[in-house]
Structure 1
Amino acid sequence: MKTRMRFSLLAVLFALTGMTTMVQADDIGKPVTPPRYQETLYPPWSHGANNPALEKGLEFTVPEVDDLPDFHGSINDPQLVIFVGGNYYFAMAPLVHAFEAEHPRIRGRIYYETLPPGILEKQMRAGNTITVGNMTWTVAPDVYAAGLGKVKHLIESGMLLAPAVPYVTNDLTIMVPKGNPAGIRSVADLGKPGVRVVMPNPKWEGIASRAMSTLRKAGGPALEKTVYVSKVKSGQTVLTHIHHRQSPLFLMQGLADAGITWKSEAIFQEQIGHPISNVDIAARNNTTAIYASAVVKNAPHPRWAKAWVEFLRSPTALKVFQRYGFKPYEGKH
Structure 2
Amino acid sequence: MKKALLALSVMALGAAAFATTDLNPYEMPPHTPPWSRKPVVSPDVHSANNPAVYKGFDFTIPPVDNVVDFHGDLNAANKDGLVVYVGGNYYFAVTRLIKAFEKEYPQYKGKVFIITIPPGKLLQAIEHYHDTFTIGDMTFTAKPDIYAGGAFGVKKCIKDGFCEASTFTPYVTNTLAIEVYKGNPKHIHSLQDLARKDVKVIMPNPKFEGIARRIEAALEKCGGKKLKDAIFGPHGKAILTEIHHRQTPLAIMEHIADAGVVWHSEVEAQMKQYHNPLEGVPIPAKCNYEAIYAAAEVKGAPHPQAAKDWLHFLKTPAALKVFEFYGFKPYEGKR
Shift of 1:243: 3.4
Aligned to 1:116: 118
Deviations 1:84-119 (A, max 9, x none): 010111112111111111111111111000110011
Does residue 292 of the first structure (1) align with residue 294 of the second (2)?
Answer: yes
Partner in structure 2 of residue 71 of structure 1 = 70
Measured against aligned partners, the alpha-carbon deviations of 1:208-258 in whole angstroms (never above 9, x if no partner) come to 1101100100111111111012554xxx42111333420000000000011
Whether 1:145 aligns to 2:148 is yes
Q: Does residue 201 of the first structure (1) align with residue 202 of the second (2)?
A: no
1:179 counterpart SS class: coil
Structure 1 CA distance, aligned partners of 2:89 and 2:319?
Answer: 16
CA-CA distance at 1:34 after TM superposition: 6.2
| CA deviations over 1:2-23 (Å, ceiling 9, x no partner) | xxxxxxxxxxxxxxxxxxxxxx
Contact 2:206 2:212 in 1 (8 A): yes
Identity across matched positions, percent: 49
Aligned with residue 160 of structure 1, among 154, 159, 163: 163
Q: Considering only aligned residues, what root-mean-square deviation do their CA atoms show, in Å? A: 1.6
1:264 maps to amino acid:
S
**Residue 59 of structure 1: SS of its match in structure 2?**
coil
CA distance in 2 between counterparts of 1:241 and 1:97 reads 31
Superposed displacement of residue 192, structure 1: 1.6
Aligned-partner Cα distance in 1 for 2:20–2:67? 29
Greater Rg by CA: 1
Question: 2:256 maps to what in 1?
Answer: 255
Per-residue CA deviation, residues 285-331 of structure 1 (Å, 9 max, x unaligned), is 00000000000000000000011011001111001100000000010
CA distance in 1, matches of 2:252, 2:299: 39
Q: Distance in 2 between matches of 1:219 and 1:57?
A: 53
Note if contact 1:264-1:325 (Cα within 8 Å) is conserved in structure 2. Answer: yes
What code does the residue aligned with 2:63 have? E
State the AA in 2 paired with 1:44: P
Is residue 199–residue 243 contact of structure 1 (8 Å, CA) maintained in 2? no
**Cα distance in 1 between the residues matched to 2:28 and 2:135:** 24
**Aligned residue for 1:89?**
91
Q: Which residue of 1 aligns with 2:34?
A: 44
Query: Which deviates more, 198-207 or 239-248?
Result: 239-248
Contact 1:39 1:63 in 2 (8 A): no
1:38 Cα offset (Å): 5.0
State the TM-score, normalized to the length of structure 2: 0.86
Runs of 4+ in 1 over 3 A off after TM superposition: 33-38
Q: Which whole-Å CA distance do the structure 2 matches of 1:248 and 1:266 have between them?
A: 9
Aligned residues: 298
Q: Deviations over 1:104-149 (max 9, x none)?
A: 1111111000110011111112000111111111110000110111
> Secondary structure of the residue that 2:35 maps to in structure 1?
coil
CA distance in structure 2 between the aligned counterparts of 1:194 and 1:229, rounded to whole angstroms: 18
Kindly report which structure 2 residues correspond to 1:222-233, keeping only aligned pairs within 5 A, or say none: 222-230=226-234, 232=236
Asked if 2 retains the 8 angstrom alpha-carbon contact of 1:198 and 1:256, the reply is yes
Counterpart code for 1:56 = K
Contact 2:145 2:302 (C-alpha < 8 Å) held by counterparts:
yes
> Which structure 1 residue ranges, 5 or more long, are not aligned?
1-32
Correspondence 1:237 to 2:238 = yes
Distance 2:311 2:214 in 1: 25
Q: Please list every run of 5 or more consecutive structure 2 residues that lacks an aligned counterpart in the other structure.
A: 1-18, 38-46
